[in-house]
């Protein structure tokens, strides 16, 4: 069984987490359309992916596996995931599509579709991303 963890989903957006109430972030992102694929992919590649890529490989693999699983299934409400991040951009109309753009920006030319979701088990440990991000 492969393990996945919903708490990795926010980690793809780490540089933006909690910036909803930041005046400087508001000014910077106020004109970003969260429903515009080109804008979101460009920002993801420029601002989000470098932070993700700086994490340990074990973290990146767990996060990637988790995102693939949650995009391939409908076991969680992605709208709630995004809402809990307090992002400096408006919430997108279609959170799954938003996360698909994140996937495409981070993992170009790779499919997120997993053939056998029943081969995965969810790990509810909220601290797993933190632990794995500090491993060398």
Q: pLDDT for 41-86, tens place per residue?
A: 999 999 999 999 999 999 999 999 999 999 999 899 999 999 999 9
Q: pLDDT for 4-39, tens place per residue?
A: 999 999 999 999 999 999 999 999 999 999 999 999
Q: How confident is the model at residue 112 (pLDDT cuts 50, 70, 90)?
A: very high
**Per-residue pLDDT for 136 more than 70?**
no
User: Which pLDDT does position 44 carry in this prediction?
Assistant: 98
Q: How confident is the model at residue 90 (pLDDT cuts 50, 70, 90)?
A: very high
Q: How many domains does the chain have?
A: 1
Domain residues for 93?
A: 2-133
Q: For residues 98 and 40, is the Cβ–Cβ distance under 8 A?
A: yes
User: Which pLDDT does position 135 carry in this prediction?
Assistant: 72
User: Which pLDDT does position 121 carry in this prediction?
Assistant: 97
């Amino acid at each position: 069984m492969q393990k996945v963890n919903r708490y990795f989903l926010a980690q793809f957006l780490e540089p933006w987490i909690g910036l909803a109430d930041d005046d400087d972030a508001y000014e910077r992102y106020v004109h970003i359309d969260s429903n515009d694929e080109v804008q979101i992919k460009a920002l993801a590649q420029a601002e989000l992916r470098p932070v993700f890529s700086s994490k340990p490989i074990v973290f990146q693999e767990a996060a990637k596996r988790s995102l693939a699983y949650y995009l391939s299934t409908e076991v969680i409400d992605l709208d709630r995931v995004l809402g809990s991040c307090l992002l400096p951009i408006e919430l997108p109309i279609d959170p799954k599509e938003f996360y698909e753009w994140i996937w495409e920006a981070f993992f170009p030319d790779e499919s997120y579709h997993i053939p056998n979701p029943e081969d995965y088990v969810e790990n509810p440990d909220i601290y797993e991303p933190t632990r794995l991000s500090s491993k060398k």
